[in-house]
Structure 1
Amino acid sequence: MEIQADGVAVRTRRGTALAPVTVTLTSGDVVALSGPPGSGHTVLSLVLAGRMRPTEGAVRIDGRADQRALAKAVRLVSDQAPFGPEPSLPLSVTVAEALHLTGRPAHRDDVRRWLDGLDGDARTDATATERLIPLLTRIAASTPGVAAVVVDAPRSANDWDAMRAIADQGVAIAVNTHADAPVDTIRI
Protein backbone atom coordinates (compact mmCIF):
# COMPACT_ATOMS: atom_id res chain seq x y z
CA MET A 1 0.00 0.00 0.00
CA GLU A 2 1.17 3.51 -0.76
CA ILE A 3 -0.36 6.84 0.12
CA GLN A 4 1.04 9.74 -1.86
CA ALA A 5 0.20 13.29 -0.85
CA ASP A 6 1.61 15.39 -3.68
CA GLY A 7 1.93 19.12 -3.10
CA VAL A 8 -1.01 19.19 -0.71
CA ALA A 9 -1.87 22.54 0.83
CA VAL A 10 -4.83 23.96 2.67
CA ARG A 11 -5.70 27.60 2.33
CA THR A 12 -8.60 29.33 4.04
CA ARG A 13 -9.98 32.86 4.02
CA ARG A 14 -7.69 33.56 6.96
CA GLY A 15 -4.55 32.36 5.21
CA THR A 16 -2.47 29.24 4.80
CA ALA A 17 -3.28 26.43 7.22
CA LEU A 18 -0.82 24.06 5.51
CA ALA A 19 1.89 25.12 3.07
CA PRO A 20 2.46 22.77 0.12
CA VAL A 21 4.07 19.50 1.21
CA THR A 22 4.68 16.13 -0.38
CA VAL A 23 4.51 12.97 1.74
CA THR A 24 4.69 9.31 0.80
CA LEU A 25 3.59 6.59 3.22
CA THR A 26 4.40 2.99 2.32
CA SER A 27 3.46 -0.18 4.21
CA GLY A 28 5.96 -0.86 6.98
CA ASP A 29 7.40 2.68 7.09
CA VAL A 30 7.54 5.08 10.02
CA VAL A 31 7.71 8.72 8.94
CA ALA A 32 7.96 11.79 11.16
CA LEU A 33 6.11 14.94 10.14
CA SER A 34 8.26 17.56 11.85
CA GLY A 35 7.82 21.27 12.30
CA PRO A 36 7.23 23.97 14.86
CA PRO A 37 3.85 24.44 16.54
CA GLY A 38 1.42 26.07 14.11
CA SER A 39 3.09 24.66 10.99
CA GLY A 40 0.08 22.56 10.02
CA HIS A 41 0.62 19.20 11.78
CA THR A 42 -3.04 18.61 12.55
CA VAL A 43 -4.21 19.86 9.15
CA LEU A 44 -1.79 17.49 7.41
CA SER A 45 -2.97 14.66 9.66
CA LEU A 46 -6.57 15.30 8.67
CA VAL A 47 -5.64 15.45 4.98
CA LEU A 48 -3.64 12.20 5.13
CA ALA A 49 -6.46 10.47 7.02
CA GLY A 50 -9.05 11.51 4.43
CA ARG A 51 -10.94 13.72 6.86
CA MET A 52 -10.10 16.99 5.09
CA ARG A 53 -9.66 17.74 1.41
CA PRO A 54 -6.64 19.78 0.41
CA THR A 55 -7.30 22.99 -1.52
CA GLU A 56 -4.18 22.28 -3.60
CA GLY A 57 -2.50 19.05 -4.63
CA ALA A 58 -3.91 15.56 -4.33
CA VAL A 59 -3.80 12.52 -2.07
CA ARG A 60 -3.75 9.11 -3.73
CA ILE A 61 -3.97 5.65 -2.26
CA ASP A 62 -2.31 3.07 -4.46
CA GLY A 63 -2.40 5.55 -7.35
CA ARG A 64 -6.13 6.40 -7.03
CA ALA A 65 -7.55 9.72 -5.84
CA ASP A 66 -10.37 8.10 -3.85
CA GLN A 67 -11.35 10.01 -0.69
CA ARG A 68 -13.65 7.24 0.54
CA ALA A 69 -10.98 4.52 0.15
CA LEU A 70 -8.46 6.78 1.88
CA ALA A 71 -10.77 7.39 4.84
CA LYS A 72 -11.35 3.63 5.22
CA ALA A 73 -7.66 2.69 4.98
CA VAL A 74 -6.19 5.36 7.28
CA ARG A 75 -6.90 5.85 10.98
CA LEU A 76 -6.18 8.98 12.97
CA VAL A 77 -4.87 8.74 16.54
CA SER A 78 -4.66 12.05 18.35
CA ASP A 79 -3.99 13.46 21.80
CA GLN A 80 -5.79 16.69 20.93
CA ALA A 81 -9.43 17.72 21.16
CA PRO A 82 -11.78 16.91 19.58
CA PHE A 83 -10.16 13.72 18.28
CA GLY A 84 -8.09 12.65 21.27
CA PRO A 85 -8.86 10.92 24.53
CA GLU A 86 -10.75 12.84 27.19
CA PRO A 87 -8.17 13.47 29.94
CA SER A 88 -10.69 13.17 32.76
CA LEU A 89 -11.57 9.57 31.83
CA PRO A 90 -9.65 6.51 33.03
CA LEU A 91 -7.49 4.78 30.42
CA SER A 92 -9.80 1.77 30.52
CA VAL A 93 -12.70 3.88 29.22
CA THR A 94 -10.55 5.35 26.44
CA VAL A 95 -9.34 1.89 25.40
CA ALA A 96 -12.91 0.50 25.51
CA GLU A 97 -14.05 3.34 23.24
CA ALA A 98 -11.18 2.70 20.79
CA LEU A 99 -12.01 -1.01 20.69
CA HIS A 100 -15.70 -0.30 20.15
CA LEU A 101 -14.98 2.17 17.33
CA THR A 102 -12.88 -0.46 15.54
CA GLY A 103 -15.64 -3.08 15.81
CA ARG A 104 -13.95 -5.16 18.49
CA PRO A 105 -15.42 -6.49 21.72
CA ALA A 106 -14.93 -3.87 24.43
CA HIS A 107 -15.89 -5.73 27.58
CA ARG A 108 -13.87 -5.44 30.77
CA ASP A 109 -11.74 -8.55 29.99
CA ASP A 110 -11.06 -7.33 26.44
CA VAL A 111 -9.89 -3.96 27.72
CA ARG A 112 -7.74 -5.62 30.39
CA ARG A 113 -5.94 -7.69 27.74
CA TRP A 114 -5.00 -4.54 25.81
CA LEU A 115 -3.91 -2.76 28.99
CA ASP A 116 -1.74 -5.67 30.18
CA GLY A 117 1.26 -4.33 28.27
CA LEU A 118 1.26 -1.07 30.25
CA ASP A 119 3.00 -0.69 33.57
CA GLY A 120 0.87 -0.56 36.72
CA ASP A 121 0.40 3.17 37.19
CA ALA A 122 -0.27 3.75 33.48
CA ARG A 123 -3.40 1.61 33.76
CA THR A 124 -5.04 4.09 36.11
CA ASP A 125 -3.26 7.36 35.35
CA ALA A 126 -5.54 9.41 33.11
CA THR A 127 -2.61 11.67 32.20
CA ALA A 128 -0.42 8.84 30.86
CA THR A 129 -0.91 9.96 27.26
CA GLU A 130 2.65 9.07 26.29
CA ARG A 131 1.86 5.43 27.06
CA LEU A 132 -1.67 5.61 25.73
CA ILE A 133 -0.81 6.86 22.23
CA PRO A 134 1.21 3.75 21.24
CA LEU A 135 -1.58 1.54 22.60
CA LEU A 136 -4.27 3.39 20.63
CA THR A 137 -1.99 3.23 17.58
CA ARG A 138 -1.71 -0.56 17.98
CA ILE A 139 -5.49 -0.87 18.23
CA ALA A 140 -6.00 1.29 15.12
CA ALA A 141 -3.28 -0.51 13.14
CA SER A 142 -4.72 -3.94 13.89
CA THR A 143 -8.14 -3.02 12.53
CA PRO A 144 -9.01 -5.08 9.43
CA GLY A 145 -8.53 -3.04 6.25
CA VAL A 146 -6.35 -0.37 7.87
CA ALA A 147 -3.15 0.27 5.93
CA ALA A 148 -1.86 3.39 7.71
CA VAL A 149 -2.15 5.26 10.99
CA VAL A 150 -1.51 8.99 11.31
CA VAL A 151 -0.56 9.96 14.87
CA ASP A 152 -1.34 13.59 15.66
CA ALA A 153 0.26 13.77 19.07
CA PRO A 154 3.32 16.01 18.77
CA ARG A 155 3.75 16.35 22.52
CA SER A 156 3.26 12.70 23.46
CA ALA A 157 4.09 10.39 20.55
CA ASN A 158 7.77 9.90 21.22
CA ASP A 159 7.97 6.13 21.66
CA TRP A 160 9.71 5.45 18.36
CA ASP A 161 10.44 1.81 19.24
CA ALA A 162 6.72 1.16 19.72
CA MET A 163 5.89 2.89 16.43
CA ARG A 164 8.55 0.84 14.60
CA ALA A 165 7.14 -2.41 16.10
CA ILE A 166 3.66 -1.48 14.88
CA ALA A 167 4.93 -0.60 11.40
CA ASP A 168 6.79 -3.92 11.26
CA GLN A 169 3.34 -5.54 11.13
CA GLY A 170 2.93 -4.01 7.64
CA VAL A 171 1.15 -0.76 8.48
CA ALA A 172 2.49 2.69 7.53
CA ILE A 173 2.85 5.07 10.46
CA ALA A 174 3.12 8.87 10.21
CA VAL A 175 3.82 10.72 13.46
CA ASN A 176 3.63 14.48 14.04
CA THR A 177 6.46 15.81 16.14
CA HIS A 178 7.97 19.12 17.16
CA ALA A 179 11.38 17.54 17.74
CA ASP A 180 13.97 15.65 15.73
CA ALA A 181 13.07 12.02 15.21
CA PRO A 182 15.17 8.89 14.61
CA VAL A 183 13.15 8.01 11.48
CA ASP A 184 12.67 9.45 7.98
CA THR A 185 11.46 13.00 8.48
CA ILE A 186 9.33 15.32 6.34
CA ARG A 187 9.72 18.98 7.35
CA ILE A 188 6.53 21.02 7.33
Structure 2
Amino acid sequence: MRVTLSEVSKGPNRAALPLTSLEFHTGTVTLARAETERRPTVLGLIASGRMRPDSGTVTVDDRTDYGAIRSLVALVDAPGVCEPAADITVAEVVAEELMFAGRIGHRRAVARMLAAFGLADEARSSMADLEPDARIRLLTELAVLRDGVEGLVICSPDRHGGDPLGWWTVTNGLSARGYAVLVIAGDASAHAIAAVDPDLVVTTSGEAVSIVPSGPGTPAANPALTHAHAGADAR
Protein backbone atom coordinates (compact mmCIF):
# COMPACT_ATOMS: atom_id res chain seq x y z
CA MET A 1 0.00 0.00 0.00
CA ARG A 2 1.23 3.48 -0.87
CA VAL A 3 -0.45 6.71 0.29
CA THR A 4 0.68 9.87 -1.52
CA LEU A 5 -0.08 13.47 -0.59
CA SER A 6 0.71 15.88 -3.41
CA GLU A 7 0.76 19.62 -2.62
CA VAL A 8 -2.08 19.43 -0.12
CA SER A 9 -3.06 22.45 1.97
CA LYS A 10 -5.84 23.47 4.32
CA GLY A 11 -7.45 26.66 5.56
CA PRO A 12 -7.59 30.30 4.45
CA ASN A 13 -4.19 31.34 3.11
CA ARG A 14 -3.08 27.76 3.89
CA ALA A 15 -2.86 28.71 7.57
CA ALA A 16 -4.00 25.35 8.93
CA LEU A 17 -1.57 23.47 6.68
CA PRO A 18 0.84 24.95 4.11
CA LEU A 19 1.59 23.13 0.86
CA THR A 20 2.78 19.67 1.83
CA SER A 21 3.85 16.66 -0.22
CA LEU A 22 4.82 13.31 1.27
CA GLU A 23 4.42 9.58 0.84
CA PHE A 24 4.31 6.59 3.15
CA HIS A 25 4.13 2.98 2.07
CA THR A 26 4.27 -0.62 3.20
CA GLY A 27 7.35 -1.58 5.18
CA THR A 28 8.66 1.94 5.78
CA VAL A 29 8.44 4.75 8.31
CA THR A 30 8.07 8.36 7.17
CA LEU A 31 8.53 11.24 9.60
CA ALA A 32 6.65 14.40 8.65
CA ARG A 33 7.87 17.52 10.41
CA ALA A 34 4.98 19.82 11.29
CA GLU A 35 5.01 22.63 13.83
CA THR A 36 2.26 24.66 15.60
CA GLU A 37 -0.55 23.27 17.72
CA ARG A 38 -3.02 22.23 15.04
CA ARG A 39 -0.97 21.38 11.94
CA PRO A 40 0.01 17.87 13.06
CA THR A 41 -3.65 16.98 13.59
CA VAL A 42 -4.75 18.55 10.30
CA LEU A 43 -2.01 16.70 8.43
CA GLY A 44 -2.89 13.47 10.22
CA LEU A 45 -6.56 13.78 9.31
CA ILE A 46 -5.72 14.41 5.67
CA ALA A 47 -3.13 11.62 5.45
CA SER A 48 -5.56 9.11 6.96
CA GLY A 49 -8.43 10.06 4.63
CA ARG A 50 -10.54 11.65 7.35
CA MET A 51 -10.32 15.22 6.05
CA ARG A 52 -10.17 16.47 2.48
CA PRO A 53 -7.56 19.11 1.65
CA ASP A 54 -8.51 22.44 0.13
CA SER A 55 -5.90 21.90 -2.57
CA GLY A 56 -3.80 19.03 -3.86
CA THR A 57 -4.52 15.32 -3.99
CA VAL A 58 -4.42 12.31 -1.69
CA THR A 59 -4.20 8.89 -3.33
CA VAL A 60 -3.81 5.29 -2.27
CA ASP A 61 -1.97 3.12 -4.78
CA ASP A 62 -2.37 5.89 -7.38
CA ARG A 63 -6.14 6.20 -7.05
CA THR A 64 -8.34 8.70 -5.21
CA ASP A 65 -10.43 6.74 -2.72
CA TYR A 66 -10.91 8.35 0.68
CA GLY A 67 -13.07 5.47 1.90
CA ALA A 68 -10.30 2.99 1.17
CA ILE A 69 -7.73 5.17 2.95
CA ARG A 70 -9.93 5.41 6.03
CA SER A 71 -10.31 1.63 6.10
CA LEU A 72 -6.64 0.90 5.50
CA VAL A 73 -5.05 3.58 7.68
CA ALA A 74 -5.56 4.00 11.42
CA LEU A 75 -5.19 7.46 12.92
CA VAL A 76 -3.43 7.20 16.29
CA ASP A 77 -3.41 9.64 19.22
CA ALA A 78 -4.38 12.74 17.24
CA PRO A 79 -4.84 15.70 19.64
CA GLY A 80 -8.46 16.75 19.92
CA VAL A 81 -9.63 13.93 17.66
CA CYS A 82 -8.79 10.43 18.87
CA GLU A 83 -6.42 10.85 21.79
CA PRO A 84 -7.59 9.07 24.96
CA ALA A 85 -8.83 11.35 27.71
CA ALA A 86 -6.07 12.07 30.21
CA ASP A 87 -7.96 10.65 33.19
CA ILE A 88 -9.18 7.43 31.57
CA THR A 89 -7.37 4.33 32.79
CA VAL A 90 -5.14 2.18 30.64
CA ALA A 91 -7.48 -0.77 31.14
CA GLU A 92 -10.46 1.26 29.95
CA VAL A 93 -8.61 2.28 26.80
CA VAL A 94 -7.74 -1.34 26.05
CA ALA A 95 -11.33 -2.49 26.62
CA GLU A 96 -12.67 0.19 24.28
CA GLU A 97 -10.13 -0.53 21.55
CA LEU A 98 -10.82 -4.27 21.74
CA MET A 99 -14.49 -3.56 21.10
CA PHE A 100 -13.59 -1.31 18.15
CA ALA A 101 -11.60 -4.23 16.77
CA GLY A 102 -14.63 -6.51 17.08
CA ARG A 103 -13.21 -8.41 20.04
CA ILE A 104 -14.51 -9.06 23.51
CA GLY A 105 -13.35 -6.36 25.89
CA HIS A 106 -14.04 -8.05 29.22
CA ARG A 107 -11.67 -7.87 32.18
CA ARG A 108 -9.79 -11.08 31.43
CA ALA A 109 -9.21 -10.11 27.80
CA VAL A 110 -7.90 -6.73 28.90
CA ALA A 111 -5.60 -8.34 31.46
CA ARG A 112 -4.20 -10.74 28.85
CA MET A 113 -3.59 -7.91 26.42
CA LEU A 114 -1.81 -5.75 28.98
CA ALA A 115 0.32 -8.70 30.06
CA ALA A 116 1.31 -9.30 26.44
CA PHE A 117 2.46 -5.67 26.22
CA GLY A 118 4.32 -5.83 29.54
CA LEU A 119 1.87 -3.35 31.05
CA ALA A 120 0.03 -5.52 33.56
CA ASP A 121 1.02 -3.19 36.41
CA GLU A 122 -0.38 -0.15 34.57
CA ALA A 123 -4.00 -1.29 34.30
CA ARG A 124 -5.28 1.27 36.81
CA SER A 125 -2.91 4.04 35.75
CA SER A 126 -4.31 7.07 33.97
CA MET A 127 -3.29 7.43 30.33
CA ALA A 128 -1.74 10.78 31.21
CA ASP A 129 0.69 8.97 33.52
CA LEU A 130 1.78 6.28 31.07
CA GLU A 131 5.37 6.58 29.85
CA PRO A 132 5.54 8.02 26.29
CA ASP A 133 7.08 4.93 24.66
CA ALA A 134 4.61 2.62 26.37
CA ARG A 135 1.71 4.86 25.34
CA ILE A 136 2.66 4.79 21.66
CA ARG A 137 3.34 1.06 21.70
CA LEU A 138 -0.01 0.36 23.36
CA LEU A 139 -2.07 2.60 21.08
CA THR A 140 -0.43 1.37 17.88
CA GLU A 141 -0.71 -2.30 18.82
CA LEU A 142 -4.39 -1.81 19.60
CA ALA A 143 -4.91 0.02 16.30
CA VAL A 144 -3.48 -2.81 14.19
CA LEU A 145 -5.94 -5.25 15.77
CA ARG A 146 -8.66 -3.73 13.59
CA ASP A 147 -9.53 -5.69 10.46
CA GLY A 148 -7.94 -4.40 7.28
CA VAL A 149 -5.49 -1.95 8.84
CA GLU A 150 -2.30 -1.79 6.79
CA GLY A 151 -0.97 1.59 7.84
CA LEU A 152 -0.83 4.00 10.75
CA VAL A 153 -0.63 7.78 11.09
CA ILE A 154 0.73 8.74 14.51
CA CYS A 155 0.25 12.36 15.58
CA SER A 156 2.67 14.31 17.76
CA PRO A 157 4.13 11.53 19.92
CA ASP A 158 6.76 14.02 21.05
CA ARG A 159 4.15 16.10 22.89
CA HIS A 160 4.24 13.51 25.69
CA GLY A 161 7.94 14.12 26.35
CA GLY A 162 10.63 11.49 26.66
CA ASP A 163 13.32 10.47 24.19
CA PRO A 164 12.05 10.50 20.58
CA LEU A 165 14.30 7.54 19.80
CA GLY A 166 12.06 5.45 22.04
CA TRP A 167 8.84 5.86 20.05
CA TRP A 168 10.85 5.90 16.82
CA THR A 169 12.07 2.39 17.68
CA VAL A 170 8.44 1.36 18.20
CA THR A 171 7.44 2.67 14.77
CA ASN A 172 10.38 0.93 13.10
CA GLY A 173 9.22 -2.33 14.63
CA LEU A 174 5.80 -1.80 13.06
CA SER A 175 7.28 -1.09 9.63
CA ALA A 176 9.44 -4.21 9.90
CA ARG A 177 6.20 -6.17 10.33
CA GLY A 178 4.95 -4.78 7.03
CA TYR A 179 2.91 -1.76 8.07
CA ALA A 180 3.08 1.63 6.36
CA VAL A 181 3.80 4.18 9.08
CA LEU A 182 3.64 7.98 9.05
CA VAL A 183 4.76 9.82 12.17
CA ILE A 184 4.04 13.53 12.47
CA ALA A 185 6.34 15.31 14.91
CA GLY A 186 8.30 18.50 15.46
CA ASP A 187 11.67 19.70 14.23
CA ALA A 188 13.51 18.84 17.45
CA SER A 189 12.47 15.19 17.23
CA ALA A 190 13.41 15.01 13.55
CA HIS A 191 16.89 16.34 14.26
CA ALA A 192 17.38 13.94 17.17
CA ILE A 193 16.41 10.95 15.03
CA ALA A 194 18.50 12.02 12.05
CA ALA A 195 21.54 12.52 14.29
CA VAL A 196 21.80 8.82 15.13
CA ASP A 197 21.89 7.61 11.52
CA PRO A 198 25.08 8.54 9.64
CA ASP A 199 23.58 7.30 6.36
CA LEU A 200 21.03 10.09 6.25
CA VAL A 201 21.67 13.20 4.17
CA VAL A 202 19.56 16.33 3.70
CA THR A 203 18.29 17.43 0.30
CA THR A 204 16.18 20.51 -0.38
CA SER A 205 13.38 20.92 -2.91
CA GLY A 206 11.14 23.98 -2.89
CA GLU A 207 9.30 24.20 0.44
CA ALA A 208 10.14 20.63 1.42
CA VAL A 209 13.26 19.28 3.05
CA SER A 210 13.72 15.53 2.83
CA ILE A 211 16.19 13.47 4.83
CA VAL A 212 16.80 10.33 2.80
CA PRO A 213 19.24 7.40 2.92
CA SER A 214 22.51 8.11 1.13
CA GLY A 215 23.29 4.44 0.58
CA PRO A 216 21.64 1.03 0.36
CA GLY A 217 19.74 -0.30 3.31
CA THR A 218 16.42 -1.71 4.43
CA PRO A 219 13.48 0.71 4.69
CA ALA A 220 13.12 0.07 8.40
CA ALA A 221 16.80 0.74 9.07
CA ASN A 222 16.94 3.85 6.89
CA PRO A 223 13.48 5.49 7.07
CA ALA A 224 12.70 8.55 4.97
CA LEU A 225 12.13 11.73 6.91
CA THR A 226 9.97 14.34 5.19
CA HIS A 227 9.79 17.95 6.31
CA ALA A 228 6.33 19.44 5.90
CA HIS A 229 7.65 23.00 5.87
CA ALA A 230 5.54 25.45 7.87
CA GLY A 231 6.76 28.50 5.96
CA ALA A 232 5.81 31.94 7.21
CA ASP A 233 2.03 31.42 7.16
CA ALA A 234 0.07 32.81 10.07
CA ARG A 235 -1.65 30.32 12.33
Instruction: State TM-score, norm by structure 2.
Output: 0.73
| 1:156 partnered with 2:196 | no
Q: Is the 8 A contact 2:9 2:55 kept in 1?
A: yes
- Could you tell me how far 1:3 is from its partner in structure 2? 0.5
SS in structure 2 opposite 1:165?
helix
Q: Distance in 2 between matches of 1:97 and 1:6?
A: 35
Q: Which runs of 5+ in 2 are unaligned?
A: 195-222, 229-235
SS in structure 2 opposite 1:124?
coil
Q: Percent identity?
A: 27
Q: Distance in 1 between matches of 2:35 and 2:44?
A: 15
Deviations 1:123-175 (A, max 9, x none): 33212151222211112123221111101133138311111111211111111
Q: Is the 8 A contact 1:79 1:85 kept in 2?
A: no
Matched to 2:225, the amino acid is T
| Structure 2 counterpart of 1:99 | 98
| 1:138 partnered with 2:141 | yes
Q: Which runs of 5+ in 1 are unaligned?
A: none
Which residues in structure 2 correspond to 1:120-131 (within 5 Å)? 121-126=121-126, 127-128=129-130, 130=132, 131=134
Assess, with a 3 A threshold, how the Cα gap between structure 1 residues 163 and 38 changes in structure 2: closer, same or farther: same
| Structure 2 counterpart of 1:2 | 2
Name which of 224, 227, 233 aligns with 1:184.
Answer: 224
Matched to 1:132, the amino acid is R
Most deviating of 55-64 and 74-83? 74-83
Instruction: State TM-score, norm by structure 1.
Output: 0.90
Q: Distance in 2 between matches of 1:5 and 1:172?
A: 14
Q: Distance in 2 between matches of 1:76 and 1:129?
A: 20
Q: Distance in 2 between matches of 1:64 and 1:15?
A: 24
Bigger Rg, which one:
2
Q: Is the 8 A contact 1:91 1:132 kept in 2?
A: no
Q: Distance in 1 between matches of 2:182 and 2:32?
A: 7
Most deviating of 19-28 and 105-114? 105-114
The Cα RMSD (Å) is 2.0
Assess, with a 3 A threshold, how the Cα gap between structure 1 residues 94 and 66 changes in structure 2: closer, same or farther: same
Assess, with a 3 A threshold, how the Cα gap between structure 1 residues 79 and 70 changes in structure 2: closer, same or farther: closer
Q: Distance in 2 between matches of 1:39 and 1:185?
A: 20
The count of corresponding residues between Structure 1 and Structure 2 is: 187
Q: Distance in 1 between matches of 2:30 and 2:4?
A: 13
Deviations 1:99-119 (A, max 9, x none): 111222212122112211234
